[in-house]
Amino acid sequence: MLPIEKDSDASQAVKACDLDKVIKKQISAMLAFGSLLGMLSSCSPSNSAAVLSSSEANSDAGAVKTITVGGSAETYEVLESLTEAYQNEHSVEFEFFPPSQSGSGMEGVKNGSLDIGAVSRALSAEDKSDGLSYVPLISTPLVLVVHDSVDSVSDLSADQLRGIYNGQITNWKTLGGPDADIVLFDLSEDESEKQLLRKAYLGDDLEISGKAITFAEDDEMLETAAITDFSIAALPLEDELEELPVRILSIDGVSPEPENLRSGDYLMALPLGLTVSDSPDSKTQAFIDLIRSDKGQSILSD
């Protein structure tokens, strides 16, 4: 505002009156502006919600799907190359739970906590009736390994193998090996590997020696066998065996070579595969489709 000049009393009265009118106009304008702000403020929450909803929708649209996997440890290694190939073409992450057993993988798919169950055995009719589908991957041999300290034994007969497991044969010298007690490592009866060993050689009724040391996981058994002189164990074939101080035995003169697996001459073939729901989500189904494709089969062959 302009400064007020000094003048006569009448002039000052007139000017004061004019000033009063100007101030009232300014106040009225300010009140009107404040009312407009209030109206805008009352509209802003709905506009913000609309913007937020749009942002959330975009975020959900770009969210990365996670496929959860659990179950048999043997199958995890086979899955690595397949999941890598799938992730090269899809926005998806794979979450592998700590390895356990085939039964845990199947149960996880049944109750919805897993998208994929990794298994080292085929599904039974009961499993399939529970709404599970089976996706075969490969067959891998279950092999007998001995510590390098057992340097003069390369083959066992089926009868000798049963004698070791039931405790009738306790010293390697009996089998042409060193004069040392046999250290037998075994797996629990609910493991797929132990069930296969019984089916192929031991039989269902063979009582296992009380001196056998039982493990819940084959990874732990392998680690222990690799540092224990005069030990023997039945384990799934894997690349790590070549790096450890253990040797693979033949049984009745038959070694676990690919041609012997294909012909059926080698009796201990462990089927590795996956279980999924009969109605998997789109991302999981696309992964299964990859496995069944020529590309997936080529990866498995390699």
131 & 196 share domain = no
Highest mean predicted confidence (pLDDT) among 45-54, 156-165, 210-219, 233-242: 156-165
Q: What's the pLDDT tens digit per position in 28-52?
A: 444 444 443 444 344 443 333 333 3
Q: What's the pLDDT tens digit per position in 52-93?
A: 333 333 444 456 789 999 998 889 988 988 999 999 999 999
- What is the Cα–Cα distance from 169 to 20, expressed in whole angstroms? 119
98 & 204 share domain = no
215 & 253 share domain = yes
pLDDT level of residue 203 (50, 70, 90 thresholds): very high
What's the confidence (pLDDT) of residue 172? Answer: 98
Higher pLDDT, 35 or 184: 184
Q: How far does CA 182 lie from the centroid of its chain?
A: 36
What's the confidence (pLDDT) of residue 62? Answer: 53
209 & 295 share domain = no
Of 36, 113, 116, which is closest to residue 69 (Cα–Cα)?
Answer: 116
Q: What is the number of helices (H) and of strands (E) in the chain?
A: 10, 10
What's the confidence (pLDDT) of residue 40? Answer: 37
For residue 210, is pLDDT > 90?
Answer: yes
210 & 172 share domain = yes
Higher pLDDT, 49 or 261: 261
Element (H, E) at 39: helix 9-61
Residue 125 placed within a domain: yes
Residue 239 placed within a domain: yes
pLDDT level of residue 153 (50, 70, 90 thresholds): very high
23 & 92 share domain = no
What's the confidence (pLDDT) of residue 141? Answer: 95
262 & 157 share domain = yes
Domain that holds residue 156: 140-270
277 & 259 share domain = no
126 & 38 share domain = no
Q: How many domains does the chain have?
A: 3
Higher pLDDT, 6 or 223: 223
- DSSP code, position 170: -
What is the token pair recorded at 133?
């589908």
What long-range pairs does 122-128 form, CB within 8 A, spacing at least 24? 122/271, 122/273, 123/275, 127/275
Residue 58 placed within a domain: no
Residue 57 placed within a domain: no
Of 300, 291, 287, 284, which is closest to residue 115 (Cα–Cα)?
Answer: 284
Residues with Cβ within 8 Å of residue 138, at least 6 apart in sequence:
78, 272, 300
The backbone torsions φ and ψ at residue 117, rounded to the nearest 5 degrees and listed phi first, read: -105, 125
293 & 243 share domain = no
CATH number at residue 283: 3.40.190.10
Q: Provide the whole-model pTM.
A: 0.71
118 & 232 share domain = no
